[in-house]
Amino acid sequence: MNEKIAKSISKFLSLVLRHSPETINLKLDENGWADVEELIAKCSKNGNTLNSELLDYVVENNDKKRFAFNEDKTKIRASQGHSISVELNLNEAEPSEFLYHGTVGKFMESIKKEGLQKMSRQHVHLSQDRETAIKVGGRRGTPQILSVRSGAMHRDGFKFYLSENNVWLTDAVPAKYIEF
C-alpha cells in the first residue's frame, strides 16, 4: 500500500466523517455513522478513489486509529475530533493526575484568561503523554505543552471521556487547572 495514498484517504475521511459530510452529499446518523457502501460510492463519484480494500487498510493501519467500523463492518465513523454534533456515547473514565495539551504561543494569552475551550470541536482534546501533545501542537508551529491537573479536575466533579482511540476528552479546562 502506498502510504501517501493512505494518508490522503485518511485526511479526506476526517473531512467527511468529522466536519462536512455534505461535501460528498453523505448522511451520518445521530451517532456519527456513515454507511460503508454509500461512503465508497459517493467518494468515487466525487473523484476520490476508494474501495473496501483501501478502506480496510486505512482503518487498520491509521497512525491514530481515527476511524472505526461497527461490528458487521457495514458502517464507519470517526472515533473523535468532530466539529458537527454527533452522539458518540463516549465512555466516562478516570484520568491520571496529569494530561497534556499541545498548543502554540499565539493562543497562550487567551488560554491563560479563558482556560482551554473546545473551539470548533465537540470537546477539548487532551493527550496521555507529552510526546503526543508535542505532535498535536507541532501541527500549528513551535509546540507549547500545557500540563492539565486532570486528577484534581476529576475530584472536583469534571467529567472526562476516553475515545475508542484513546484520546482524552472533556468539555472545558478552567485556567486554574493548567500549569503554564
Binding site for ligand HQG (CB under 6 A): 14, 64, 66, 81, 103, 107, 110-111, 114, 116-117, 119-121, 125, 136, 140, 167
Q: Which three cell numbers stand for residue 101?
A: 495539551
Q: What minimum distance in Å lies between the beta carbon of 22 and ligand HQG?
A: 19
CB-nearer residue toward ligand HQG: 41 or 121: 121
User: Across the beta sheet with 75-78, what order do the strands follow?
Assistant: 34-35, 75-78, 67-69
Q: What share of the chain is helix, strand, coil (3-state, %, to 5)?
A: 40, 20, 40
CB-nearer residue toward ligand HQG: 77 or 125: 125
Element (H, E) at 14: helix 3-14
Q: What minimum distance in Å lies between the beta carbon of 8 and ligand HQG?
A: 14
Q: What minimum distance in Å lies between the beta carbon of 167 and ligand HQG?
A: 5
Q: How far is CA 98 from the centre of its chain?
A: 19
CB-nearer residue toward ligand HQG: 94 or 141: 141
Only one residue has cell 454507511, namely: 35
